[in-house]
């Protein structure tokens, strides 16, 4: 095929696809889904990821497919997302899979494990090395279909009410930390607690817990941890 003719034909094909897209959207049935999350609305990083997804889906379908996002607790509790989607209480959920470590330890591998992959490696596994296919082979027994919904990068070790100088200082500390990480620090004497993001600050303030791990400085500052736990460590 001659190069000029090929480019001319290819260009016509792209233009045709662009013209046809709105017609496809117009022929779609209207869909309205609910998306429950494990996050309070105050958290820009995780909750806004759900809102961004909803916005893009609406734009791509000429508003025929609308997804309404809900904070944790508005429909179901923050740690009930997997059950709510699996039993079809809601159509979609956005959560951190390691919260459901108690159902099956393999849930942690969908999200994060201590000494595991960094953010770029995790994405490479998901998108280029069959990770998402393996994930869905696993979650289908929970009546789920999973897709990556964001990547927070490396997480800090946490905020502590008292200064930690040695490993022995960790013994007996009640710490909000979930999943496999909780099981790991328990070997150092930490007592792991599973607490939703919106409930961490009051628990620290009241002394119900002595330390808390969440995500990273941006959302940790949003939640005000530095006001009640002055010591910040990377474990």
What is the span of the domain harbouring residue 190?
Answer: 158-233
Instruction: Identify whether residues 136 and 30 lie together within a single domain.
Output: yes
Instruction: Identify whether residues 110 and 219 lie together within a single domain.
Output: no
Q: Quick check: 117 pLDDT over 80? A: yes
For residue 14, being part of any structural domain is answered with no
Provide DSSP, 80-96: GHHHHHHTTSSSEEE--
Q: Quick check: 8 pLDDT over 50? A: no
Instruction: Identify whether residues 112 and 57 lie together within a single domain.
Output: yes
Q: Degrees (nearest 5) of the Cα angle 18, 51, 72?
A: 150
pLDDT in the model for residue 235:
63
Q: Does the predicted model carry a pTM greater than 0.75?
A: yes
Whether 68 and 34 have beta carbons less than 8 Å apart is answered as yes
Instruction: Identify whether residues 134 and 178 lie together within a single domain.
Output: no
- DSSP 8-class letter at 13: H
Residue where a domain stops, chosen among 142, 175, 200: 142
Instruction: Identify whether residues 130 and 33 lie together within a single domain.
Output: yes
pLDDT in the model for residue 26:
63
Instruction: Identify whether residues 193 and 90 lie together within a single domain.
Output: no
Burial class of residue 41 (count of CB atoms within 10 Å of its CB; 0-12, 13-18, 19+):
middle
Q: Which of the two residues, 111 and 143, has the higher pLDDT score? A: 143
- Count up the domains in the chain and report the number: 2
Q: pLDDT band for position 151 (50/70/90)?
A: confident
Whole-number percent of the chain with pLDDT over 70? 89
Instruction: Identify whether residues 127 and 42 lie together within a single domain.
Output: yes
Residue where a domain stops, chosen among 142, 166, 192: 142
Indicate which CATH number applies to the domain containing 186.
3.40.190.10
Instruction: Identify whether residues 120 and 175 lie together within a single domain.
Output: no
Whether 44 and 218 have beta carbons less than 8 Å apart is answered as yes
Burial 195-232 (b: 16+ CB within 10 A, else e): bbbbbbbebbeeeebbbbbbbeeebbebbebeebbeee
Averaged pLDDT, 13-42:
71
């Amino acid at each position: 095929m001659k190069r000029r003719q090929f480019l001319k034909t290819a260009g016509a094909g792209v233009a045709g696809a662009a013209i046809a897209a709105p017609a496809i959207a117009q022929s779609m049935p209207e869909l309205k889904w609910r998306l429950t999350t494990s996050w309070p609305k105050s958290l820009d990083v995780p909750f806004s990821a759900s809102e961004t997804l909803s916005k893009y889906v609406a734009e791509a379908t000429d508003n025929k497919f609308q997804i309404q996002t809900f904070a944790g607790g508005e429909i179901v509790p923050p740690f009930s997302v997997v059950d709510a989607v699996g039993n079809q209480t809601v159509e979609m959920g956005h959560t951190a899979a390691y919260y459901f470590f108690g159902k099956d330890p393999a849930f942690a591998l969908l999200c994060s494990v201590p000494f595991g992959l960094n953010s770029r490696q995790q994405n490479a596994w998901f998108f280029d090395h069959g990770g998402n296919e393996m994930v869905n082979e696993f979650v289908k027994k929970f009546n789920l279909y999973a897709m990556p919904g964001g990547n927070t990068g490396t997480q800090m070790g946490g905020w502590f009410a008292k200064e930690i100088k040695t490993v022995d200082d960790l013994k007996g500390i009640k710490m909000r930390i979930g999943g496999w990480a909780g099981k790991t620090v328990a070997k150092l004497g930490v007592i792991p607690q599973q607490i939703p993001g919106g409930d961490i600050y009051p628990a620290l303030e009241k002394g119900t817990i002595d330390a808390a791990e969440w995500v990273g400085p941006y959302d940790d500052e949003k939640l005000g941890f530095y006001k009640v736990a002055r010591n910040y460590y990377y474990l």
